[in-house]
Chains A and B, each alone.
Chain A
């Protein structure tokens, strides 16, 4: 069965620190990978996505993620976080192809950035 693991439940950083959030997935086929962000009291918004090609993908607000197929990982990074990045971050995986399952989410990582 498909599953997504996010290793950190809560990460606390100071502004300007670098961020890396871990994500590993389990799926026996080609996948599409996503990171979503949920700001306090808001809906989930797509940060970035990977389908194929360059394993380093860039998203909005300076975020990027690297797909490492051999490690089944899709870690999210940002060189310098801001207080406004305080939010919950969700990694998600979907089997490639319209009929291949649905978006499966990890349990999320809460990021708190201290000003």
Chain B
């Protein structure tokens, strides 16, 4: 157990639908990061939040959004889902700027049918 909790572990949904993935960071970590892992693209950085504020954006589609709540948990919202959105979505957390590396959760496997 890494200390980063992601729910749900698996999600199967239809095209056009909207889903929410949830992440609770390791205790004491203020930064939360979302990554998408697919076979062809590898691990792609989506977005970072630090203490409730968006800090950095990567290759995140406009159909995707995220937020970090006062209790520091984060949610990644994926809407108008397409088959190509099927992937593993990882959340990671770190203290401060993450210079010492990130701690990853077990991921949510999203399958869009």
Distance in angstroms between the alpha carbons of A111 and B108 in the assembled complex: 23
Count the A-B residue pairs with Cβ separation under 8 angstroms: how many? 57
B107 at the binding interface (Cβ < 8 Å)? yes
**Residues on the A chain within 8 Å of B2, using CB:** 43, 45
Secondary structure call for the B interface: loop
Docked-complex contact A98 and B96, CB < 8 angstroms: yes
Query: How many of chain A's residues have a CB under 8 angstroms from any CB in B?
Result: 25
**Residues on the B chain within 8 Å of A102, using CB:** 33, 45, 48, 56, 58, 98
Q: Would A103 and B42 be within 8 Å (CB), given that A49-B100, A51-B99, A98-B96 are in contact? A: no
For window 66-112 of chain B, which residues contact chain A by CB distance below 8 Å? Answer: 90, 92, 96-107
Distance in angstroms between the alpha carbons of A49 and B99 in the assembled complex: 10
Given A46-B101, A46-B103, 10 new contacts (CB under 8 A): A32-B100, A32-B101, A43-B90, A44-B92, A45-B2, A98-B96, A98-B99, A99-B97, A103-B102, A105-B35
